[in-house]
Amino acid sequence: MTVRKNQATLTADEKRRFVAAVVELKRNGRYDAFVTTHNAFILGDTDNGERTGHRSPSFLPWHRRYLLDFESALQSVDASVALPYWDWSTDRSARSSLWAPDFLGGTGRSRDGQVMDGPFAASSGNWPINVRVDGRTFLRRQLGANVRELPTPAEVESVLSTVIYDMPPWNSASDGFRNHLEGWRGVNLHNRVHVWVGGQMATGVSPNDPVFWLHHAYIDKLWAQWQRRHPGSGYLPTAGTPDVVDLDETMKPWNDVRPADLLDHTAHYTFDTD
C-alpha cells in the first residue's frame, strides 16, 4: 500500500528515488503529457461554461485522480516511490529542506528567475521545459516574491472548519469549502501557494515544476482531513447540474471515473498521519 509522507520527513534515499523517478518520466516523455493535460483543462475550464479540473466542485476529485495517474507512472519506474506532500503552512520558508539541492533545488536567480541548483536546474540537462507558453526553456521560481506569505495554520484551520463542500454557482464565486481551499475566495490557500512559488508554477503549465505534485498532494490531504472533520458533509452537487460534474457523473479526460469513486483516498493510498 502506498503511504504518502510529509516531504520534511523523507530520508535521503527516499528523496533520491523520488527525484530519479521524476527525471526518468521526463526523459521518456511521459512527464510532459501530464503538463499538456493540465494546461488543456486550465484553458478550457470557465466559470460560465463547462468546468472540470478547476473552479468547480470537481477540482478536488479531478486532481486526486490526476495525482494517482502521476504516482502510478512514478511507480512504474520505481515501485517504492510515493508522492510526498508539502505542508506549506509549516514549511513556509525558502530555507526549508524542500528547496535544498538534494531535493527540488531553490529559488531562481534575480535576473531571469532561473533555478540554478538541484536536479531540475536547466544546467543539469535533465529538465527541459518543453510544454510552455513563452520562449523560456528553463525552470523558473521566485519564492515569496509575488506574495510575501504562505498560508498559516490558522488560515488552514479556518477553511477546514467550513461545513458545506461547495455551493451554487459551483465556480470561482462560490462560498463553501472547495472554493476557499482552491482560493478564489477568502483567505486563499491553493492559488496563493502557486503565486508564492512563482515561475512556471504561477502559470497554466504549472506541473512543469515538480513542486506541483507536492503542493497538490497536500491540498488532497486537506480534503481528507475535511472529510474526517465533517462526516455528515458530502460532495455536492449530487445531480442535474449543467456544465458541472455531479457526484455520479464521469469526469474528463478519463470518462470512466466519477467523483463518487474518489471520495475515499484509502482505497488508493494512506497518509503518514492516517
Partner 1 sequence: MPTLTRRRALTAAAALTAAAAAHTGTAAAAPAGHRHHGSPEPFDEVYKGRRIQGRPASGGGHHHGTGYAVLVDGVELHVMQNADGSWISIVSHYAPVPTPHAAARAAVEELQGAALLPFPAN
Which positions touch partner 1 (CB under 8 A)?
39, 42-44, 46-49, 55, 112-113, 131-136, 146-147, 169, 171-173, 183-184, 190-192, 194-195, 202-204, 206
* Closest C-alpha among 37, 54, 42 to residue 244: 54
Q: CA separation (Å) from 7 to 54, 161, 213?
A: 25, 25, 11
Q: Do residues 44 and 223 make contact, with C-beta atoms less than 8 angstroms apart?
A: no
H helix runs in 28-101, sequence order: 30-44, 59-77
Smallest separation, CB 18 to partner 1 (Å): 25
* CB nearer partner 1, residue 53 or residue 105: 53
Q: Cell 516511490: give the residue.
A: 81
Smallest separation, CB 44 to partner 1 (Å): 8
* CB nearer partner 1, residue 49 or residue 153: 49
Smallest separation, CB 90 to partner 1 (Å): 21
Smallest separation, CB 203 to partner 1 (Å): 5
270, β-bridge pairs: 3
Exposure class string for 218-250: b at 16+ Cβ within 10 A, else e? bbbbbbbebbeebeeeebbbeeebebbbbbebe
Q: Do residues 235 and 57 make contact, with C-beta atoms less than 8 angstroms apart?
A: yes
Burial class (CB within 10 angstroms; exposed 0-12, middle 13-18, buried 19+) of 267: exposed
Judged by DSSP in three states, 49 sits in coil
Query: For residue 274, what is the DSSP state?
Result: -
Distance, CA of 82 to CA of 45 (rounded, Å): 29
* CB nearer partner 1, residue 39 or residue 58: 39
Distance, CA of 192 to CA of 159 (rounded, Å): 14
* CB nearer partner 1, residue 81 or residue 244: 244
Other residues' Cβ atoms within 10 Å of the Cβ of residue 144: 17
* CB nearer partner 1, residue 7 or residue 56: 56
Smallest separation, CB 56 to partner 1 (Å): 11
* CB nearer partner 1, residue 113 or residue 119: 113
* CB nearer partner 1, residue 1 or residue 43: 43
